[in-house]
Structure 1
Amino acid sequence: MGSFTQIEFVQAQSASSEKVSADYTNPLILQRADPWVYKHTDGYYYFTASVPEFDRLEIRRSKTIEGLKSAEPKVIWRKHDEGIMGAHIWAPELHYVNGNWYMYFAAGSTEDIWAIRMYVIENDAANPVEGEWIEKGETKTKWDTFSLDATTFQHQGTRYMVWAQHPPDFDGNTALYIAEMDTPWSIKQPQVELTRPEYDWEKQLFKVNEGAAVIKRNGKIFMTYSASGTDHNYKIGLLTADEDADLLDPDAWKKSKEPVFSSSEENGIYGPGHNSFTTTPDGSTDLMIYHARSYKEIEGDPLNDPNRHTRVQVINWKEDGTPEFGIPLPDNAPTDPSER
């Protein structure tokens, strides 16, 4: 593993304008994959992600995005010594639902590390780095198969969960599913398949659709997801639905035929994916938080390579109301286009 220089993060704010400049330098946080940033009403950003050891859940918080770099991680939960939730602690997400905090994550067992299922823990403290986290158990789905990457969002009074799961009839890895939630830790049937790998760019190394994230803008619901193996082939696709559509109708979702965000040979950034969305403190600029590596060649299993770093990308919006993700910026380049 190479050495890294100290990265300085600057967020410029003009005295003559209330708009906050989206100026960050990547990478934001080293060795944190599947990054999730939640901007809460208390004025703090909360960050969690997969750690290289795949053995614990942690949270850090800051009043600014760039402050997350130096914020002290608080370990809130560790894997079990035996049985379920004993291995492969992956892709945590922190959500505030009905006055409580919930952490959604995936885990294997000590007997079978690949028996990955989805689990939830709960905390009723005002600050999720304080208080007590209680295990709520597994989120059960239609099948007892490999499942992970749960995310949740509310729309028009209904809370939904979206996750990746291996369907028994699929000669591949995972498809994306959506269902209504009846509690913050459980779903009700039916669960509906939204997408499975069908294009070549979704089937490199592995046939994977996973890591969904939702952003609502301009009368539309945009759902990003990640596809292919976790090396340089990893990339982001997009599903789109009208805000008044039946979100449990697969036909309501339009799938992009091409990836919307992928590796940049020119900028030396590889395998971007598994993103979340947030905004600048004033809400004026949308940000995508994602992970990627700074090199292409990997020795051995990509999952054992720890250098998927958390990065920030400004999202611009086209005249037709759809997002423009651009390309991954090189290391140490400001994300604000006016500063490049």
Structure 2
Amino acid sequence: MTSASFHRSRMLAPLLLLGLLACKKESGTTAPITPTNPTTPATTFTNPLLGNTAGPDPWVYQKDGTYYYMATTGNNVTIRKTAKMSELGSSPSYPVWSPLATGDNSRDVWAPELHYLDGKWYIYYTAGPGNCCDGQKSWVLENSNPDPTRGGWVEKGRIISPGADYWAIDGTVAEINGQRYYIWSGQSGPIGNNTDNEQRLYISAMRNPWTLDGARTELSRPTLSWERNGYPKVNEAPQILQRDGKTFLIYSASHCSSDDYALGQLTLTGTNPLDAASWTKLQTPVFTKSAASRAYGPGHNGFFKSKDGTQDWIIYHANNDPGQGCGGARKPRMQQFTWNADGSPNFGSPVAIGTPITRPAGE
């Protein structure tokens, strides 16, 4: 989530309806018939997860044994609901919110994220009035129903950074040391006044799920060579990953039009997340393209645990072929990742499409 950037193609995410045809043979007897080839439950799955269905900016939230999946559709906010992530492709989908025909959040609906906060559901998404290179901002929806696919979603308005109400996309919510923060990708000033049009990562404390508290802090900008492929230069799609008291911020860098769109990492090495000096930036990417695996521009990821809670998984989008850029060719993929001896995540390399992958533990 896009990968959310200036020049993204508007995309739709058509749902593929799969018909299951059953054949019944009259046997002329009431005796049970033992099949000669009994069906064995599948133990593997393959990427991409949704076949030919587009899925840029995938996001997963898990609660009470259920996984909720979201991705950019371009024209609405849709939730897929499943008990098993390996069966995402056959899960039902629920369009839960659509914008009005006109208005400040009527077009280019990108990178939705679902969060359960203070006993209610919230969806953070990006949208604008129709010019993605100028008006994109962060917005919030609220739902008090225990099931986010039911009930009504109320528009809580925009997430506004005090004194810096500029272009803002890819917002996520993180809790660090008991404090809630909002982290997003934005610009240093108003569109037209920037000479670089860079996308940078910002953080702010949250007063409540729809209000920021205090000025923003810039955490990262695209300064390294691997972050500066394509135009404009991009740091976006921040995601927080925590384990054993360590906090990592995984982000996407380079423009989505580039096959070299990749993941980078910041580590919280200080005590104050609002102090840029408390974060240390890794100088090399942590997840990159693989021509052999047909994974181009892998990024804009999310994280989730396996059904039994013993495994860590990354979900991300990638193009199957080079030069496919920012459009609907980006499809969701997932794979297990491990941890290095120093406690940092090890994402490995993208698994080749069509390769059988053992289902998440517990499925």
Both proteins in one fold, TM over 0.5: yes
Tell me the distance in 1 between the aligned counterparts of 2:178 and 2:295.
Answer: 39
Amino acid at match of 1:318: N
The letter of the residue matching 2:266 is: L
In the alignment, is the contact (CA less than 8 A) between 2:303 and 2:314 conserved in 1?
yes
1:185-223 residue CA offsets vs partner (Å, 9 max, x unmatched): 111112111000001111111200000111101321011
Counterpart residue number, 2:264: 237
Runs ≥4 in structure 1, deviation > 6 angstroms? Answer: none
Note if 1:262 corresponds to 2:288.
Answer: yes
Is 1:288 the counterpart of 2:314? The answer is yes
Please state if 1:190 is matched with 2:215: yes
Find out whether 1:161 has 2:182 as its counterpart: yes
Shift of the 170–284 alpha-carbon distance from structure 1 to 2, 3 Å rule, reads farther
**1: distance between equivalents of 2:131 and 2:199?**
22
Provide the secondary structure at the position in 1 that maps to 2:215. Answer: coil
The CA distance in 2 between the partners of 1:190 and 1:143, in whole Å, is 8
SS where residue 104 of structure 1 aligns? strand
Q: Do 1:87 and 1:113's aligned partners in 2 also have CA atoms closer than 8 Å?
A: no
Distance 1:86 1:125, change over 3 A: same
1:75-118, CA deviations, whole angstroms, 9 ceiling, x for partnerless residues?
Answer: 01112201111111000000000000000000010477740000
Identity over aligned pairs, percent: 36
Pair 1:80–1:189, CA change in 2 (3 A): same
C-alpha separation in 2, matches of 1:308 and 1:192: 31
Structure 1 residues 112 and 268: CA distance shift in structure 2, 3 A: closer
Alignment of 1:1-340 (within 5 A): 12=43, 23-29=44-50, 30-40=53-63, 42-51=64-73, 54-110=74-130, 114-141=134-161, 142-168=163-189, 171-206=196-231, 207-231=233-257, 232-242=259-269, 245-298=271-324, 302-303=325-326, 305-336=327-358
Q: Which amino acid aligns with 1:211?
A: A
TM-score, scaled relative to structure 2 = 0.82
Residues 112/322 of structure 1: CA separation in 2 closer, same or farther (3 Å cut): closer
Q: Following the alignment from structure 2 to structure 1, what is the Cα–Cα distance between the partners of residues 195 and 273?
A: 23
Give aligned pairs, total. 312
Distance 2:133 2:260 in 1: 24
> What is the alpha-carbon root mean square deviation over aligned residues?
1.9
- Whether contact under 8 Å (1:26, 1:331) holds in the other structure is yes
Alignment gaps of 5+ in structure 1 = 13-22
* Unmatched segments (≥5 aa) in structure 2: 1-15, 19-40
- Please report the TM-score for the alignment, with normalisation by the length of structure 1: 0.87
8 Å contact kept, 1:314–1:336:
no
Per-residue displacement from partner, 1:19-54 (whole Å, max 9, x unpaired)?
Answer: xxxx542111231110000011x2100011102xx1
Q: 1:75 to 1:204 in 2, by over 3 A?
A: same
Check conservation: 1:87, 1:110, Cα contact below 8 A: yes
Contact 2:252 2:261 in 1 (8 A): yes
